[in-house]
Amino acid sequence: MEELDGEPTVTLIPGVNSKKKQMCFDWGPGEMLVCETSFNKKEKSETVPGCPFIYIIRKDIDVYSQILRKLFNESHGIFVGLQRIEEELTGKSRKAQLPCFLSLQDAPCSCCMSFHFCRLVRVSKNYRSVIRACMEEMHQAAIAAKDPASGRQFSSQVSILSAMELIWNLCEILFIEVAPAGPLLLHLLDWVRLHVCEVDSLLADVLGSENPSKHESFWNLVTILVLQGRLDEARQMLSKEADVSPTSAGMCRILGDLMRTMPVLSPGNTQTLTELELKWQHWHEECERHLQDGTFASSPHLESLCKIMLGDEAALLEQKELLNNWYHFLVTRLLYSHPTVKPIDLHFYAQSSLDLFLGGESSPEPLDNILMAAFEFDIHQVIKECSIALSNWWFVAHLTDLLDHCKLLQSHNLYFGSNMREFLLLEYASGLFAHHRPSCLSSDCCSLWQLGVDYFDYCPELGRVSLELHIERIPLSTEQKALKVLRICEQRQMTEQVRSICKILAMKAVRNNRLGSALSWSIRAKDAAFATLVSDRFLRDYCERGCFSDLDLIDNLGPAMMLSDRLTFLGKYREFHRFYGEKRFFDAASLLLSLMTSQIAPRCFWVTLLTDALPLLEQKQVIFTTEQTYELMRCLEDLASGRPVRGEPGAQRLQEDIENTKLEMLRLALARNLARAIIKEGSLEGS
């Protein structure tokens, strides 16, 4: 059971009164509200605080968010690609029919695995190059910064990114490439060289000067070249010195020779490790001999260089400033004393290097602990320390995911049985969802949450439910955004979220009296009850104004009409109007009749329907047959009899009067139509 690592750091809210110590707060999707208050529930407060403030607090990635966004976007692409590689691989093994494309075996064989392995290394390098690109941009921003404060922020972000890349690179060497003894050192050398960039500029400086060997930093340069194992370049420098200084020419040549002859493992070299060790031992002894003989005694610089090449700890430690950090010290030390170091032995040297370098004067920083954990091959410790040291989840989430694909993480059950990879990815993705604030100007920014969707997709245990909770909270500020969100939900069969979102939009539309919009959202939500409600509103609107709004929508309902009876009625009723408009009177008539007889017409609407029949009844030609007319009459009487006699004063009476007049008119029209219909049907039609 591990202990708490210490109190977390405190963020001060400027302006908050330290005497008023109580606060109420609320979480939002991306922010938190905090407000000073007093929690003793007396009616009157003793001290009137004046004008209290509300504080809005959120995670700060504003300043460099533009640049980081690129990091998030590009790494998202790499992440998704990596998941697909994995799917491909496991997919291949599960399909018995599909043999390995190289060796015709059913299971992924070693060639597939090494191909896969190469791909993983490439993915790692891709991630690193994305970090480096981000670093470079951030660096440019730091230089171009308008004020020192933001310049400082950019610079500090650059250091953080640099540290991330440093760690990732080491993890790549140790955990992903899994370099064995021999190549291990070469990789570590590359690693160190990559992260100390002043050397090249210094080299250019010195070489570019008139008299390189008289340059004030000449010896520093040569030393650091030796420290980095760049012996060819160091030798070149020495020859320059030899050129101008005849007295030390001889020594320079000898040292140069030693440099040239140091046995190194070159890639593609076929010698075994043992052969190399043997050769190296001889060479080491030769260097030792020169030192004992005092070959370089008259030049302290050269002697110091020789000692370095012998891996003399004291000599190396004298160069602390040039080495700059303990891991550089470690790698140099290994280069010149244990070049064939095995991975499992690394941590001994690492620990002692750290101790020697710090010399008890200072204690290790978080970065040191992380690197040490890596040298100890304690992946979990690396991840844990990184999580603590870094303020966002990006790094640990992606690194852990990659290591998981390398099958390096044993399943450690956390809360809900989620493993560590998933835990970190969920955290990262949740963080992405918090960033959909509309405070930026470009159109597709604040779409970081869309990246988050993919991360949730690849979290098998809690990804789906986390996505459901988060996606509901995306503010639906524009129709475009709403459609985007809905599409994502529909693709994943998140039916409840679709329903809920559509309902929210439908409700909003109804409140704003945009009935067409409300209707289409209700249909999409498959919410029959609400569709009925909106249809009712449409019909009421029609009764009041005599025309429909949103005709396009109602005309094109299609099969969605079936969602609710009222909706069907609305659609059919509109169809009736269309028929009439197109003078398809017979169609209109039968539709009208079916509307009345099929019971889908709300009773309160019958008067309107019957009134709509009037123009048809008034036509020159007889439209309604006798049958139809009888039906209509029956409906009319039904309606009239069903009406309760109400003895209410005033307006009601007037309404009743109007209604009665209408009914009379209808009776008259129907009777007349009946007469004409009978005559028409009874006579012989000539054509």
Partner 1 sequence: MFVARSIAADHKDLIHDVSFDFHGRRMATCSSDQSVKVWDKSENGDWHCTASWKTHSGSVWRVTWAHPEFGQVLASCSFDRTAAVWEEIVGESNDKLRGQSHWVKRTTLVDSRTSVTDVKFAPKHMGLMLATCSADGIVRIYEAPDVMNLSQWSLQHEISCKLSCSCISWNPSSSRAHSPMIAVGSDDSSPNAMAKVQIFEYNENTRKYAKAETLMTVTDPVHDIAFAPNLGRSFHILAIATKDVRIFTLKPVRKELTSSGGPTKFEIHIVAQFDNHNSQVWRVSWNITGTVLASSGDDGCVRLWKGISFPLWIPHGLDRDGPVMPSSFLLLLLLW
Of residues 122-161, those binding partner 1 (CB under 8 A)? 156
CB of 219 to partner 1, least distance (A): 38
Residue 16 in contact with partner 1, rule: CB under 8 A: yes
d(C-alpha 199, C-alpha 384), whole Å: 33
- Which of 279, 437, 526, 578 lies at the binding interface for partner 1 (CB under 8 A)? 437
CA distances from 16 to 28, 47, 51, 72, 476 (A): 20, 16, 12, 34, 33
Q: Between 469 and 671, whose beta carbon lies closer to partner 1? A: 469
Residue 4 in contact with partner 1, rule: CB under 8 A: yes
CB of 430 to partner 1, least distance (A): 6
Residue 442 in contact with partner 1, rule: CB under 8 A: no
Number of residues that bind partner 1 (CB under 8 A): 94
Is the distance from CB of 138 to CB of 172 less than 8 angstroms?
no
CB of 433 to partner 1, least distance (A): 8
Stretch 232-291 residues interacting with partner 1 (CB under 8 A)? none
Residue 438 in contact with partner 1, rule: CB under 8 A: yes
For residue 38, what is the DSSP state? -
Q: Between 388 and 406, whose beta carbon lies closer to partner 1? A: 388
Contacting residues for 256 by C-beta, under 8 A, at least 6 apart: 235, 238, 239, 242
- Which of 38, 217, 340, 352 lies at the binding interface for partner 1 (CB under 8 A)? 38
- Which of 462, 601, 617, 677 lies at the binding interface for partner 1 (CB under 8 A)? 462
Q: What is the DSSP string of 334-375?
A: HHHH-TT--GGGHHHHHHHHHHHHHTTTS---HHHHHHHHHH
Q: Between 242 and 533, whose beta carbon lies closer to partner 1? A: 533
| Among 144-152, 285-293, 474-482, 615-623, the segment contacting partner 1 (CB under 8 A) | 474-482
Q: Between 259 and 389, whose beta carbon lies closer to partner 1? A: 389
Q: Between 304 and 430, whose beta carbon lies closer to partner 1? A: 430
Q: Between 153 and 629, whose beta carbon lies closer to partner 1? A: 153
Whose tokens are 């076929």? That residue is: 270
Q: What is the DSSP string of 541-602?
A: HHHHHSS-S-HHHHHT-GGGGGG-HHHHHHHHHHHHHHHHHTT-HHHHHHHHHHHHHTS-S-
Residue 10 in contact with partner 1, rule: CB under 8 A: yes
CB of 547 to partner 1, least distance (A): 22
d(C-alpha 246, C-alpha 296), whole Å: 14
Give the number of other CB atoms < 10 A from CB of residue 512.
10
Q: Between 338 and 384, whose beta carbon lies closer to partner 1? A: 384
- Which of 278, 465, 604, 679 lies at the binding interface for partner 1 (CB under 8 A)? 465
CB of 476 to partner 1, least distance (A): 8
Residue 39 in contact with partner 1, rule: CB under 8 A: yes
* Burial category of 266 from C-beta neighbours within 10 Å (exposed 0-12, middle 13-18, buried 19 and up): exposed
Is the distance from CB of 311 to CB of 337 less than 8 angstroms?
yes
β-strands 31-37, 22-27 pairing = antiparallel
Residue 223 in contact with partner 1, rule: CB under 8 A: no
Q: Between 97 and 439, whose beta carbon lies closer to partner 1? A: 439
Is the distance from CB of 373 to CB of 385 less than 8 angstroms?
yes
* Burial category of 43 from C-beta neighbours within 10 Å (exposed 0-12, middle 13-18, buried 19 and up): exposed
- Which of 26, 147, 210, 544 lies at the binding interface for partner 1 (CB under 8 A)? 26
- For residue 602, which phi and psi values (nearest 5 degrees)? -65, 140
Residue 7 in contact with partner 1, rule: CB under 8 A: yes
Q: Between 59 and 634, whose beta carbon lies closer to partner 1? A: 59
631-653 core/surface letters (b: 16 or more CB in 10 A; e: else)? bbbebbeebeeeeeeeeeeeeee
- For residue 550, which phi and psi values (nearest 5 degrees)? 55, 45
Per the document, the length of the chain is 687
Enter the tokens of residue 213. 């060997």
Q: Between 62 and 88, whose beta carbon lies closer to partner 1? A: 62
| Among 24-32, 307-315, 318-326, 591-599, the segment contacting partner 1 (CB under 8 A) | 24-32
Four-CA torsion 182, 185, 189, 192, nearest 10 degrees? 160
Residue 446 in contact with partner 1, rule: CB under 8 A: no
- Tell me, residue by residue from 287 to 326, as one string, x for binding to partner 1 by CB under 8 A and - for no binding: ----------------------------------------
Is the distance from CB of 97 to CB of 113 less than 8 angstroms?
no
CB of 412 to partner 1, least distance (A): 5
Residue 11 in contact with partner 1, rule: CB under 8 A: yes
Residue 36 in contact with partner 1, rule: CB under 8 A: yes
| Among 301-309, 407-415, 554-562, 642-650, the segment contacting partner 1 (CB under 8 A) | 407-415
d(C-alpha 494, C-alpha 456), whole Å: 13
- Which of 135, 474, 557, 609 lies at the binding interface for partner 1 (CB under 8 A)? 474
CB of 395 to partner 1, least distance (A): 13
CB of 55 to partner 1, least distance (A): 5
Cα 679 vs. chain centroid, distance in angstroms? 77
Longest alpha-carbon distance in the chain = 141
- Which of 228, 430, 520, 629 lies at the binding interface for partner 1 (CB under 8 A)? 430
- Tell me, residue by residue from 376 to 395, as one string, x for binding to partner 1 by CB under 8 A and - for no binding: ----x--xx--xxxxx----
Beta bridge partners of 26: 33
Which own/partner pairs from 45-51 qualify as long-range (CB within 8 Å, at least 24 positions apart)?
49/17, 49/20
Residue 495 in contact with partner 1, rule: CB under 8 A: no
| Among 25-33, 223-231, 245-253, 652-660, the segment contacting partner 1 (CB under 8 A) | 25-33
Stretch 327-366 residues interacting with partner 1 (CB under 8 A)? none
Residue 648 in contact with partner 1, rule: CB under 8 A: no
- Report the run of H or E that residue 186 belongs to, with start and end: helix 183-195
Q: Between 70 and 152, whose beta carbon lies closer to partner 1? A: 152
**Which segments of 472-527 does DSSP mark as H helices, in order?**
479-491, 495-511, 515-525
Stretch 44-103 residues interacting with partner 1 (CB under 8 A)? 44-45, 48-49, 51-60, 62
